[in-house]
Amino acid sequence: MGRLSRLLNRTLISTVLATTTVSAADVIVNHHETLQNLVMPSAMSVGNQKAALVSTQLLSFYALGQRFELSLEANQRLMGAAAELVATNVGVYQGQLVGVEGSWTRIVVANGLPRGLIWNGQELLAIEVPGDSQIASTGPVIYRLADSHMVPNSMSCGTGDLHPTGDQAFATIVSELQTAFASAPGATSEITVGMVGDFEFSDSFGANATAAIMTRLNNIDGISASSWVFRLRSPPSISSPTPLN
């Protein structure tokens, strides 16, 4: 069970690093595009998330040669876990691409800007915003994980001198997890997950620290809910991103 626990830990860590890295040096993105013609309900765009969270919302934009239409609703489990943290300008959403069976998305909206993950049934895409991205931009950008490359050993994936793409690195970890589960049918392992915004984190993200924390947790929730090889059974514990002394 020790090996399984280590693999689960690495999966959670890689989810965070592969989608919204803290260190820009860990990931190289070969191609990204700005979200064009971004359309979202006024309640979301002006920051009135309390109003937007009570019903299904539609968010759409154009990028990567196609139109994305997302049907979103409040991710109540995470909102409940962070009720004391989520201000009226931060909304945590879950949903899917309209008309795309098997798709899912996890989006956090803060200051009128969306960020998160989209699974279109075939590949994983990341949406990032200025101040929480390795990409220098003035607005939200999207890229395929297949277009990102991990610096060797940045996730301790045992990839040697190779530069795996983001989707390859994640697929490697998923494969290891599947092998571990197959070797011990019926075995389970639970990991207590907590997230604390310490001084360095708060100093780096400033007023956007809460949105950064919720984005990472929402992304992990999306991966787990897709029923690949692990599941987030209950909301993680969350501590305020107030700098610690």
Task: Kindly list the averaged pLDDT for each block of 10 residues, start to end, along the chain of length 245.
Answer: 49 47 63 95 67 80 97 84 64 94 93 92 92 89 89 54 68 69 65 69 79 86 68 56 50
Q: Which amino acid is at 136?
A: A
Cα separation of 132 and 22, whole Å?
Answer: 7
- Does residue 215 contact residue 132 with C-beta atoms inside 8 Å? yes
pLDDT at position 185: 66
Q: Are strands 237-239 and 194-196 parallel, antiparallel or unpaired?
A: parallel
pLDDT at position 174: 65
Cα separation of 181 and 187, whole Å?
Answer: 7
Q: What angle do CA 13, 143, 219 make, to 5 degrees?
A: 35
pLDDT at position 149: 80
pLDDT at position 153: 60
- Does residue 177 contact residue 188 with C-beta atoms inside 8 Å? no
Closest listed residue to residue 99, CA positions, set 72, 143, 69? 69
pLDDT at position 37: 96
pLDDT at position 17: 44
pLDDT at position 114: 95
DSSP H or E stretch at residue 110: strand 104-110
pLDDT at position 133: 86
